[in-house]
């Protein structure tokens, strides 16, 4: 049986740990309230931007598919698709033109710190499966990583890391999302990659986060489709179920010049906010569980301490009684 001194030291150590986990739980809870408010305010705006972009490009994509089928023999289908995505008023927008996905970039969003349960493990394993499955399919996959946990995980596996973006979580803002977007756009605009996918945790509640793989570029309908497949939602129909008709002034091309960069920045910002809220929710849950485990351990050690003390007292009493009886003889 351990000595009383060693049990007291263990109880003191666990109590110190419990103070830390309790403080971290309170901090995570306070930050989570702000993060939840931030993401609930941004979500409707981000969803509406996606809906407007899809409304503008939906008919064009349908027309492009018909043009590709009609012009397949002439070999002009790809050009017809690119032109249709901006209408007949201007040149095709480079962020809307779909390409065969031979070279893919995965933007993986992890945290800089641990103590948040399986938050980072779930993202890293999902991104690793995506990387390996696409590689087996003959695609060239590269990774752009936010967060030290993701960087360390994929460095150990000798993954093809194109870009590591440090310091993103220190100051989350639209400017930060724009800086991340600029880093991703550079190889995309140079035709060094054909598609960009986001891998992040979508916030549901403090105890539930869902890993999402969402196509970011090329933008438009296909990106929304990928998101809905992952989230288990319906098709591309508008909320009313009817196709809306709009008048565009001056034209679709001019609108897309403003809307597509806005979609890119808002989509990245939403993913960052979702990931931050998910991390705080996972940390809150993990620290709550650690706090409960510490309490149970303290109770168990206290019981063990009392038993050991009782045994020591009983032993001393037996020795005293034995000595007294010996003196009587």
Contact of 119 with 154, CB cutoff 8 Å: no
Which pLDDT value is given to residue 84?
Answer: 39
Rounded distance between C-alpha atoms, residue 321 and residue 54, angstroms: 91
How confident is residue 110, by pLDDT bands cut at 50, 70 and 90?
very high
Tokens for 32, please give them.
Answer: 């989570």
Is residue 316 scored above 90 in pLDDT?
no
How confident is residue 245, by pLDDT bands cut at 50, 70 and 90?
low
* Residue 116 annotated as catalytic: yes
Which pLDDT value is given to residue 87?
Answer: 41
**Tokens 């996905």 found at:** 101
**Which string of DSSP letters, residue by residue, matches 75-118?**
T-HHHHHHHHTTTTSSPPPTTT-----SEEEEEEE--SS--STT
Among 104, 116, 168, 269, the one annotated catalytic: 116
How confident is residue 285, by pLDDT bands cut at 50, 70 and 90?
confident
Q: Class of 27-56+97-234+247-284 per CATH?
A: alpha beta
Which pLDDT value is given to residue 313?
Answer: 84
How confident is residue 329, by pLDDT bands cut at 50, 70 and 90?
low
- SS3 state of residue 207: coil
What residues form DSSP beta bridges with 108?
145, 199
Which pLDDT value is given to residue 286?
Answer: 87
Is residue 306 scored above 90 in pLDDT?
no
Which pLDDT value is given to residue 60?
Answer: 55
Is residue 162 scored above 50 in pLDDT?
yes
Average pLDDT, integer, range 66-87: 47
Which pLDDT value is given to residue 221?
Answer: 55
**Which string of DSSP letters, residue by residue, matches 158-204?**
T--EEEEETTTTTS-SHHHHHHHHHHHHHHHHTTS-SEEEEEEEEEE
Which pLDDT value is given to residue 237?
Answer: 39
Rounded distance between C-alpha atoms, residue 195 and residue 134, angstroms: 12
Cα 210–43–62 angle (5° rounding)?
Answer: 90
Which pLDDT value is given to residue 47?
Answer: 82
Average pLDDT, integer, range 263-287: 89
**Which string of DSSP letters, residue by residue, matches 210-265?**
EEEEEEEES-SHHHHHHHHHHHT---S--TTSS------SS-HHHHHHHHHHHHHH
Average pLDDT, integer, range 125-147: 91
Rounded distance between C-alpha atoms, residue 228 and residue 225, angstroms: 5
Worst-scoring range by mean pLDDT, 69-78, 176-185, 282-291? 69-78
Q: What percent of the chain has pLDDT over 70?
A: 78
Is residue 109 scored above 90 in pLDDT?
yes
Rounded distance between C-alpha atoms, residue 191 and residue 324, angstroms: 96
Tokens for 264, please give them.
Answer: 């890119």
Is residue 70 scored above 80 in pLDDT?
no
Q: Which one has a higher pLDDT value, 173 or 247?
A: 173
Is residue 135 scored above 60 in pLDDT?
yes
Categorise residue 242: left if φ over 0, alpha if ψ from -120 to 50, beta otherwise: beta
Q: Quick one: CA torsion of 41, 44, 48, 54, rounded to 10 degrees? A: 120
Q: At what angle do helices 252-328 and 174-189 cross, to 10 degrees?
A: 120
- Mean pLDDT score across all residues of the chain: 78
Which pLDDT value is given to residue 81?
Answer: 42
How confident is residue 261, by pLDDT bands cut at 50, 70 and 90?
confident
Which pLDDT value is given to residue 124?
Answer: 92
Output the pTM of the full model: 0.76
Is residue 224 scored above 50 in pLDDT?
no
Tokens for 5, please give them.
Answer: 């001194």
Q: Quick one: CA torsion of 219, 46, 180, 168, rounded to 10 degrees? A: -150
Return the closest-CA partner of residue 214 out of 190, 238, 198: 198
Is residue 130 scored above 80 in pLDDT?
yes
DSSP state of 145: E
**Tokens 């679709």 found at:** 252
Rounded distance between C-alpha atoms, residue 132 and residue 140, angstroms: 10
Domain boundaries, the chain: 27-56+97-234+247-284
Rounded distance between C-alpha atoms, residue 107 and residue 130, angstroms: 11
């Amino acid at each position: 049986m351990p000595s009383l001194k060693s049990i007291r030291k263990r109880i003191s150590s666990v109590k110190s740990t419990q103070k830390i986990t309790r403080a971290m739980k309170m901090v995570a809870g306070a930050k989570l309230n702000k993060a939840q408010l931030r993401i609930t305010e941004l979500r409707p705006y981000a969803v509406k931007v996606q809906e407007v972009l899809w409304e503008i490009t939906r008919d064009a994509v349908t027309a492009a598919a018909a043009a590709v089928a009609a012009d397949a023999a002439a070999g002009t289908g790809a050009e017809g698709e690119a032109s249709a995505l901006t209408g007949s008023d201007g040149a095709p927008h480079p962020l809307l033109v779909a390409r065969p996905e031979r070279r893919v970039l995965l933007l993986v969003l992890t945290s800089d710190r641990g103590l948040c349960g399986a938050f980072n493990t779930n993202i890293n394993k999902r991104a690793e499966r995506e990387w390996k499955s696409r590689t087996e399919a003959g695609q060239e996959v590269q990774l752009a990583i936010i967060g030290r946990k993701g960087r360390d995980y994929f460095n150990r596996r000798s993954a093809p890391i194109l870009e590591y973006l440090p310091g993103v979580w220190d100051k989350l803002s639209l400017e930060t999302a724009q800086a991340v977007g600029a880093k991703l756009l550079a190889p995309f605009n140079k035709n060094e990659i054909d598609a960009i996918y986001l891998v992040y945790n979508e916030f549901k509640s403090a105890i539930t986060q869902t890993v999402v793989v969402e196509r970011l570029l090329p933008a438009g309908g296909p990106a929304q489709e990928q998101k809905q497949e992952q989230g288990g939602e319906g098709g591309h129909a508008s909320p009313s179920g009817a196709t809306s008709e709009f008048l565009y002034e001056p034209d679709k091309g001019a609108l897309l010049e403003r809307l597509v960069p806005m979609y890119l920045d808002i989509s990245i910002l939403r993913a960052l906010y979702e990931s931050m809220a998910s991390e705080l929710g996972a940390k809150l849950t993990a620290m709550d569980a650690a706090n409960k485990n510490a309490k149970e351990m303290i109770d168990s050690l206290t019981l063990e301490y009392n038993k050991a003390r009782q045994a020591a007292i009983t032993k001393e009493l037996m020795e005293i009684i034995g000595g007294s009886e010996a003196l009587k003889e």
